[in-house]
Amino acid sequence: MALEIVRVPVLSDNYVWLVHEPMSGETMVVDPAVAPPVLEKAEELGWKISQIWNTHWHPDHTGGNAEIKEVTGCTITGPAAEAERIPTLDVQVKGGDAVRLGEVTAHVIHVPAHTAGHIAFHFADEKAAFVGDTLFAMGCGRLFEGTAEQMFNNMRALEALGDETDIYCAHEYTLSNGRFALTVEPDNTALAQRMEEVVVLRDRGEPTVPTTIALEKATNPFMRARSVAELAARRAAKDAA
Ligand SMILES: [Zn+2]
């Protein structure tokens, strides 16, 4: 693929993603919760940060914006609908827009529900999507500013990106999500097998993301919900767990 993608684990369970486009030499950061570990990792790799892309306004996705911009002079792109809550934004985008990183282009997908203006970035040619807090490994984001119907539609929009698409989410929630998923579908063998692998990885302190659309279609109870009502019931049960 024409992108090099490096994970920077920060705070208790956030993943910030450094995305390098080698033809142009541009480097972009997705959802920097904080600045110092991101700046350090970029320096270690010899990558010069030229852009930040935000998926939504939550502080654990935007908290590093100002400091990274101050140090690097980068341009910050994020959801127009949340511009008031992300005062560091330079470029406002909405669903259907295209955003460039050097020689490659991502398309913006509007995925409201976790927040009202939440967006995802999809690199179609590179088969990679940065989904923030919308889709997680075996989970989905909480419905803070939207409805189960919106999240159900988001699952359809992300599913449509294709099985091979790598999904870069913003948190390591996989173990807890998987335990909940097993209560929903105790007889799902793909899920049981995935959980065995996840337990081993987490025991070793290793990450379980990115995931893929194919894996989520097979094991994610929110992507697998057959109706809005079913997704809503599962979300409520997970919130109460
Ligand atoms: Zn969030």
Identify the CATH number of the domain in which residue 225 sits.
Answer: 3.60.15.10
Structure confidence by residue, pLDDT tens digits, 9-45: 999 999 999 999 999 999 999 999 999 999 999 999 9
Told to judge if 31 belongs to the known catalytic residues of this protein, a careful annotator would answer no
Q: Which of 114, 118, 122, 166 is catalytic?
A: 114
Q: How remote is the CA of residue 85 from the centroid of ligand 1, in Å?
A: 13
Told to judge if 20 belongs to the known catalytic residues of this protein, a careful annotator would answer no
- In order of 18, 38, 46, 58, 106, the CA distances from 128 in angstroms are 13, 20, 23, 22, 9
Rounded Cα distance between 235 and 171, Å, is 17
Domain carrying residue 39:
4-240
Residue 56 marked ligand-binding: yes
Told to judge if 125 belongs to the known catalytic residues of this protein, a careful annotator would answer no
Q: What is the pLDDT of residue 241?
A: 87
- Reference 2, options 72, 93, 106; nearest CA is 106
Residue 61 marked ligand-binding: yes
Q: What is the pLDDT of residue 1?
A: 61
Number of domain units in the chain: 1
**Cβ–Cβ under 8 Å, residues 198 and 211:** no
Q: Which DSSP helix (H) or strand (E) runs through 166?
A: strand 166-169
Q: Greatest CA separation found in the chain?
A: 52
Residue 133 marked ligand-binding: yes
Q: How remote is the CA of residue 158 from the centroid of ligand 1, in Å?
A: 18
Does the predicted model carry a pTM greater than 0.85?
yes
Q: Which of 31, 60, 118, 166 is catalytic?
A: 60
Q: How remote is the CA of residue 141 from the centroid of ligand 1, in Å?
A: 7
- Which parts of the chain register pLDDT below 50? none
Q: What is the pLDDT of residue 144?
A: 98
Rounded Cα distance between 51 and 136, Å, is 24
Angle between helices 148-159 and 228-240 (to 10 degrees): 110
Q: How remote is the CA of residue 58 from the centroid of ligand 1, in Å?
A: 5
Residue 131 burial class via C-beta count within 10 angstroms: exposed 0-12, middle 13-18, buried 19 and up: buried
Q: How remote is the CA of residue 189 from the centroid of ligand 1, in Å?
A: 30
Q: How remote is the CA of residue 236 from the centroid of ligand 1, in Å?
A: 17
Q: What is the pLDDT of residue 95?
A: 98
Q: What is the pLDDT of residue 158?
A: 98
Residue 20 marked ligand-binding: no
